[in-house]
Amino acid sequence: MGSFDFVTVFFLVAAVVIFLQLRNVLGRRTGNEKPPFDPYSRREPAESAAPDRGKVVTLPRRDGTEGEDGPYTQVDAFTPAGPLNQALRRVVDGDPSFSPNEFVNGAKLAYEMIVVAFADGDRKTLKNLLSREVYEGFDAAISERESKGEVVKSNFVGIEKADIVAAEVKDQEVNITVRIVSQLVSATYDKDGNLIEGDAEAVAEVNDIWTFARDVRSRDPNWKLIATESEG
């Protein structure tokens, strides 16, 4: 997933449109005529809306100039000097369009999409957002739930906090780990409608550590969830 010439994209979509038009949200490129949609890239002021993408707004990407502040300005503003700062600088070396703040915003959006899709058993959405290994685990859990006739009813309240805690570049693949604290109402019912897990009324705090990856050599800007871990 190679470095683009300081290109930037942004999309604004209502929650329903996000799930119905996932490919547009994720920005899969079908040719060279338009830049891809990348929820993790820097956002710039709107120039024009794509005529055939509903509420998706296509914005211009950066022109390739570093500006007076240099390539690491955003990284230095995001985190002070230290191991994380150095790791994010290496990410910028591989992908000059990378913005840590906008990556966090995109990771939060992806997190919500994945959590809701898993609860709904939406394999199509999950397959586009997860690595093959992670998808197989999610798919197995959904299949087991379906075989038992269980139903999950959930309400994603919001994300309280999201922070990049680690980053590394390995053989042109960028891995970024994010700690996310979210609030969720979730209840699982058996085939007879009896509550077997969770609470349909209470808001629960969920602490997760998720790792996203992208190959900077590829023209595809998409990040994939490659690892999940729960805290507490």
Confidence band (pLDDT; 50, 70, 90) for 217?
A: confident
Q: Which residue has the higher pLDDT, 112 or 67?
A: 112
Question: What pLDDT score does 62 carry?
Answer: 39
DSSP 60: P
Question: What pLDDT score does 232 carry?
Answer: 63
Per DSSP, the three-state class of 175 is: strand
Please give the model's pTM, rounded to 2 decimal places. Answer: 0.71
Domains of the chain: 75-231 (3.10.450.240)
Residue with tokens 């994209």: 9
Q: Summarize the confidence of residues 173-202 as an average pLDDT.
A: 96
Confidence band (pLDDT; 50, 70, 90) for 195?
A: very high
State the alpha helices, DSSP H only, in 68-223: 73-78, 83-94, 100-120, 123-129, 132-147
Question: What pLDDT score does 69 carry?
Answer: 65
Tell me the backbone φ, ψ of residue 25, rounded to 5 degrees. -60, -45
Q: What is the pLDDT of residues 114-139, one digit of tens each?
A: 999 999 999 999 999 999 999 999 99
The distance between the two most distant Cα atoms of the chain, rounded to a whole number of Å, is 65
The count of other CB atoms within 10 Å of the CB of residue 74 is 17
Question: What pLDDT score does 203 carry?
Answer: 96
Number of residues that make up the chain: 232
